[in-house]
Amino acid sequence: MKLKNKRFLVIGGAGFIGSHTVEYLIKNDVKEVIVFDNFFRGKKENLMSSLNSKKVKVLEHGGDILQNDILENSLMGIDGVFHFAALWLLQCHEYPESAFKTNVEGTFNVINSCRKKKIKKIVFSSSASVYGDALEEPMPETHPFNSKNFYGSTKIAGEAMLNAFHYRYNQNYVGLRYMNVYGPRQDYSGAYVAVIMKMLDSIDKNEYVTIFGSGKESFDFVSVKDCARANILAMESEIKQGFYNIGTGKKTSLIKLANTLYNILGKKKKIRFKKNTNSTLVKNRIGCIKKAAHDLKYVSKFDLEKGLKELILWRENHKKKNEEK
């Protein structure tokens, strides 16, 4: 789909990946970008720069994907939909009923509403969590679904529904399976922070960075800006149905991640290891991005050190602003 003069609805557009996608969208000659967000996880401050554009507006009547009438009304005259709204991994673990409501029922509402309003394409945020632990590295999109956590199972359900609606109703979609995403605007406070932010917290406090396992556990850490750009490429592509890994294709162990953070910050290394007693946490996950490179023309543009430096700078500035309030 050509983006020029098109109108897009970004569901969860005030969130981590969603807000970056909004920024990338308005760099193109689009007609309008409407942010649909209930601000449970998303934040209006994430949209501060985007809202300077006359092309961007936040839907005033609400942004909850469980409110079907508001959702359907928001799709009037929309060409394409980006669907980011979801409860995160640990929230799904602790609150499975709420996770089902948002991630499964809510995603059904989005897909079904798009069908009714004849939306040209949905770009869906899935996750590498559908795979579970890697049986082969890097993992292709044909890798079996071995997820052991509820978050992964909700994403599998979303993918299955998209596939069914495509074959039954010709609803076009592209699903993106993100690897381990990091970058500016990532949560660094509260109960649900990611591994990089937890490491940075420990380094700030001059405490030991705790690694659960041997430290050899390895992941594909991908910049949020790469993920945002992948969303645009997915919408622009001629692909009408399919799922794609979005990552770097590069393997980084947890011990290497911790050492890289210490080196960037110039701090003395203090690392300890603890036994991993959580059987739902994966130990290895690296994505093969050959399919995305071929079909979507996607390649990662941010190496890990560059991306981490950008994240650290944003985090420091953001914490200072909050302290000054």
Does residue 162 fall inside a structural domain?
Answer: yes
| Cβ-contact 175, 244 below 8 angstroms | yes
Phi, psi of 134 (to 5 degrees): -70, 130
How many independent structural domains does the chain possess? 1
Q: What H or E segment, with its residue span, contains residue 196?
A: helix 195-204
| CA distance linking residue 181 with residue 159, whole number of Å | 19
Phi, psi of 93 (to 5 degrees): -65, -40
Query: Within 13 Å and on the Cβ side, how many CA atoms surround 65?
Result: 33
Residue 59 sits in a domain of what CATH number? 3.40.50.720
How many Å separate Cα 197 from the centre of its chain?
16
Does residue 81 fall inside a structural domain?
Answer: yes
Q: Does the active-site annotation cover 151?
A: yes
Does residue 228 fall inside a structural domain?
Answer: yes
Q: Which of 131, 151, 173, 182 is catalytic?
A: 151
Q: Render each residue's pLDDT in the chain as its tens digit; 325 residues.
A: 999 999 999 999 999 999 999 999 999 999 999 999 999 989 999 999 999 999 999 998 889 999 999 999 999 999 999 999 999 888 999 999 999 999 999 999 999 999 999 999 999 999 999 999 999 999 999 999 999 999 999 999 999 999 999 999 999 999 999 999 999 999 887 656 789 999 999 999 999 999 999 999 999 999 999 999 999 999 999 999 999 999 999 999 999 999 999 999 999 999 999 998 877 778 899 999 999 999 999 999 999 999 999 999 999 999 988 887 6
Residue range of the domain that includes 82:
7-178+223-247+288-301
Task: Identify the three-state secondary structure at position 260.
Answer: helix
Does residue 57 fall inside a structural domain?
Answer: yes
- pTM, two decimals, is 0.96
Residues 6+ apart with CB under 8 A from 168: none
| Cβ-contact 57, 44 below 8 angstroms | no
Does residue 36 fall inside a structural domain?
Answer: yes
CA nearest to 192, candidates 104, 106, 274, 87: 87
Residues 6+ apart with CB under 8 A from 102: 65, 66, 85, 86, 87
Q: Count CB atoms within 10 A of the CB of residue 108.
A: 16
